[in-house]
């Protein structure tokens, strides 16, 4: 799930009905910002800590708190930033509460519902941790998108855009 395109598409689709498509593009781009650490050849570093991201967001949040439209954009951007490491945590170890803890966490959820003579649900939820180690990599091997992620992202982006176009079209006719 933590592919780059989904880090854009999920916040975009959530924010588009609230702030409009143009501002939602900004929110989607903000959702990808924690991956800027990959440009420094260290992925899932301090930029994937909810604590650090929240602290860095306080200044723009305070500045925009006086204007309602910008406040919504700032709050959605904060949400976008903090959901990024949460999504990553479901794929691999992520330093989500760094520097409070020097552990990186990973969440694993497995489950299914078997329908036979009876309905049998099964769910397993596990949180594991490992020591955080910010280490340089020589080759980045993360997908920008996968085939499943691409179609999900396409739908998440297309639906708000098409809805917006439909609303504009019905107003003019």
pLDDT digit of tens for each residue in the chain (173 aa)?
478 999 999 999 999 999 999 999 999 999 999 999 888 888 889 999 999 999 988 888 888 777 777 888 888 999 999 999 999 999 999 999 999 999 999 999 999 999 989 999 999 999 999 999 888 888 777 778 889 999 999 999 999 999 888 887 777 76
Q: Which structural domain range is residue 128 located in?
A: 4-172
- Backbone angles phi and psi of 135, in degrees to 5: -125, 140
Predicted confidence at residue 7, as pLDDT, reads 95
Predicted confidence at residue 173, as pLDDT, reads 64
* DSSP H or E stretch at residue 150: helix 147-172
Tally of domains in the chain: 1
Predicted confidence at residue 79, as pLDDT, reads 93
Angle between helices 4-19 and 147-172 (to 10 degrees): 20
Nearest-angstrom CA–CA distance, 27 and 157: 12
């Amino acid at each position: 799930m933590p592919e780059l395109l989904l880090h854009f598409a999920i916040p975009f689709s959530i924010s588009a009905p609230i702030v409009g498509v143009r501002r939602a593009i900004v929110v989607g781009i903000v959702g990808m910002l924690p991956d800027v650490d990959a440009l420094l050849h260290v992925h899932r570093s301090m930029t994937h800590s909810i604590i650090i991201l929240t602290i860095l967001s306080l200044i723009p949040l305070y500045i925009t708190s006086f204007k309602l439209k910008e406040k919504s954009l700032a709050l959605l951007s904060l949400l976008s930033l903090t959901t990024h490491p949460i999504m990553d945590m479901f794929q691999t170890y992520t330093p989500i509460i760094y520097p409070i803890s020097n552990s990186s966490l990973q969440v694993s959820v497995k489950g299914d519902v078997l329908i036979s003579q009876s309905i049998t649900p099964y769910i397993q939820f596990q949180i594991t941790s490992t020591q955080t180690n910010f280490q340089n990599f020589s080759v980045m091997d993360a997908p920008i998108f996968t085939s499943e992620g691409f179609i999900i992202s396409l739908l998440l982006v297309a639906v708000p855009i098409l809805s917006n176009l439909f609303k504009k079209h019905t107003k003019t006719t």
